[in-house]
Amino acid sequence: MKTKELIILTTDPFQGDFGTSDDRVLSNKIVTAKKSKTPCSLCNKKTISGTRVRVMTAKYDGVIMSYRFCEECCDSFIDEKY
């Protein structure tokens, strides 16, 4: 796995939010976006087909949710770490 992608995957996009002790990340990966219509979970911009995006499924507060983060927001995760 590339170092950049590893940094993105290990960054908690919801750091600082309060949750419960049973919150869990169920799936967390970097994929190539196939569609341009899916909005980013942070900035709400549409993801661009062919770009690398982070897809995460997690259980928060007892509810299973899916999140997608665009390439631009993923790059901001790297900027936060360095």
pLDDT of residue 81: 62
Query: In what side-by-side order are the strands of the sheet with 24-32?
Result: 24-32, 52-60, 63-69
Beta-bridge mates of residue 56? 28, 67
pLDDT tens track for 18-45: 777 788 999 999 999 998 888 999 999 9
Residue 16 has pLDDT above 90, yes or no: no
Q: How many CB atoms lie within 10 A of CB 24?
A: 11
Residue 50 has pLDDT above 80, yes or no: yes
| Over residues 55-60, mean pLDDT | 93
Q: What is the mean pLDDT of the chain?
A: 88
| CATH 3.30.1740.10 is right for the domain spanning 26-81 | yes
Residue 80 has pLDDT above 70, yes or no: no
Q: CA-CA-CA-CA torsion for 33, 43, 80, 48, nearest 10 degrees?
A: 20
Percent with pLDDT over 90 in the chain: 61
pLDDT of residue 20: 74
Per-domain residue ranges of the chain: 26-81
Q: Which amino acid is at 36?
A: S
